[in-house]
Amino acid sequence: MVNIEIPPYWEQLNLEGLSGLLMVIGAPDTGKSTFARYLYTRLCALHERVAFIDGDIGQASLGPPTTMTLALRQGGETGFPPGGPRVRVFVGANSPRGHMLPTLIGVYKLARRAQELGATATVLDTTGLVAPEQGGPALKLAKVDLLEPSVVFAIQRGSELEPILGPLRRSARTRVVELPAASAVRPRDMLARRAHRARLFARYFANAYPLEISWARLAVFPAPCFSRYQLVAMEDRRGFALALGIVLEVDMARKTVLLLTPAHSLSEVDALRVGDVWVNPETGEDSRAGNESDRHPLGAGRLIE
Ligand SMILES: Nc1ncnc2c1ncn2[C@@H]1O[C@H](COP(=O)(O)OP(=O)(O)OP(=O)(O)O)[C@@H](O)[C@H]1O
Ligand SMILES: [Mg+2]
């Protein structure tokens, strides 16, 4: 980890005996991801099989935005990121708002996969969506109910987590460890967040090539409605994302879609999942943020089989 300030109250955390899922929550810019990485490296000294789930679909750390990524520790390595196997799910949005079910299902699939792969401790980093008017507490409490974390590390600046922590502190279903936000946190505004997402997409698609896919043979979730620059995932039969693609062209008559993707082979592809995000393949920018006309230049609006 590069130049992070480790507050004494991090060092004083007693992690002996902790196992299972360790969930980190907090509002935006509270240092969740930095703490989650620190927690992961501390756990590497205590467990052989440690996993990290990047559950932030907006400011992702282990994959492109719109996805969540599970990474497992390889051998005796001690640093972050984990060098072992990676498993990914596609949510298809930059925020859980309006996509709560795919977010919840996705994180559950990754937590279950971590267990299947033998992880005895898994750190889960989450999005900063905690505002009650946006459904933040409902989502966080649903995650606690479903994932049964042994500990929730709650990083709070003021009282913004109270709607979540109020009930959790009184419940025996998990343990809450409360931490203040580290003073070294550098906040990022909307523009910086958008630029960060664009960089992550640009990096992901840096070695991508056009690949034609016939959807006549594949499931398409939720339906084969594609428009230019729309983000699509290729999924395996368990619903894990093999790769993402950006729609370049659609041929309704032949039922084919041309995707810009780093994937080379379609051998394990079971389904396509169409996202709610449009990405400019040249800049990696969310094309809704820039040119609105980018979204439907294929002229057909909703392109349906
Ligand atoms: N303990 C620390 N020491 C040094 N820098 C830190 C520390 N904590 C956070 N930062 C810096 O502050 C910025 C935001 O931190 P971080 O990404 O961990 O916050 P976050 O709560 O995960 O943000 P987001 O809401 O975007 O997910 C980063 O640039 C990070 O390097
Ligand atoms: Mg973060």
Written as tens digits, the pLDDT of the chain (305 aa) is 568 999 999 999 999 999 999 999 999 999 999 999 999 999 999 999 999 999 999 999 999 999 999 999 999 999 999 999 999 999 999 999 999 999 999 999 999 999 999 999 999 999 999 999 999 999 999 999 999 999 999 999 999 999 999 999 999 999 999 999 999 999 999 999 999 999 999 999 999 999 999 999 899 999 999 999 999 999 999 999 999 999 999 999 999 999 999 998 889 999 999 999 999 999 999 887 444 444 444 433 333 33
53 plus 159 within the same structural domain = yes
Question: Does 66 sit in the ligand 1 pocket, CB within 6 Å?
Answer: no
For the segment 40-55, what is each residue's pLDDT rounded down to a tens digit?
A: 999 999 999 999 999 9
Q: Which two tokens stand for residue 264?
A: 């080379």
Determine the atom of ligand 1 nearest the C-alpha atom of 128: 25
In this prediction the pTM is: 0.94
Question: Does 31 sit in the ligand 1 pocket, CB within 6 Å?
Answer: yes
Q: In angstroms, what is the span from residue 183 Cα to ligand 1's centroid?
A: 10
Tell me which of 140, 186, 190, 199 to substitute to probe ligand 1's pocket, judged by most ligand atoms within 8 Å of the beta carbon: 186
Q: Rounded to an integer, what distance in angstroms lies between the CA atom of residue 227 and that of residue 249?
A: 8
172 plus 207 within the same structural domain = no
Question: Does 32 sit in the ligand 1 pocket, CB within 6 Å?
Answer: yes
Q: What angle do CA 261, 263, 268 make, to 5 degrees?
A: 130
Q: In angstroms, what is the span from residue 18 Cα to ligand 2's centroid?
A: 22
For the segment 251-295, what is each residue's pLDDT rounded down to a tens digit?
A: 999 999 999 999 988 899 999 999 999 999 999 998 874 444 444
Out of 180, 209, 239, pick the residue that ends a domain.
180
Provide the domain limits for residue 127.
Answer: 8-180
The reported pLDDT for the residue numbered 298 is: 43
Determine the atom of ligand 1 nearest the C-alpha atom of 36: 18
Residues 150/22, Cβ–Cβ less than 8 Å = yes
- Residue 83: inside a domain: yes
CATH number of the structural domain spanning residue 65: 3.40.50.300
The reported pLDDT for the residue numbered 2 is: 67
- Residue 186: inside a domain: no
Question: Does 33 sit in the ligand 1 pocket, CB within 6 Å?
Answer: yes
Question: Does 94 sit in the ligand 1 pocket, CB within 6 Å?
Answer: no
149 plus 197 within the same structural domain = no
Question: Does 34 sit in the ligand 1 pocket, CB within 6 Å?
Answer: yes
Order of strands across the sheet that contains 50-54: 86-90, 67-72, 50-54, 121-125, 20-26, 151-156, 175-180
Q: Rounded to an integer, what distance in angstroms lies between the CA atom of residue 124 and that of residue 32?
A: 10
Burial of residue 222 (number of CB atoms within 10 Å: 0-12, 13-18, 19+): exposed
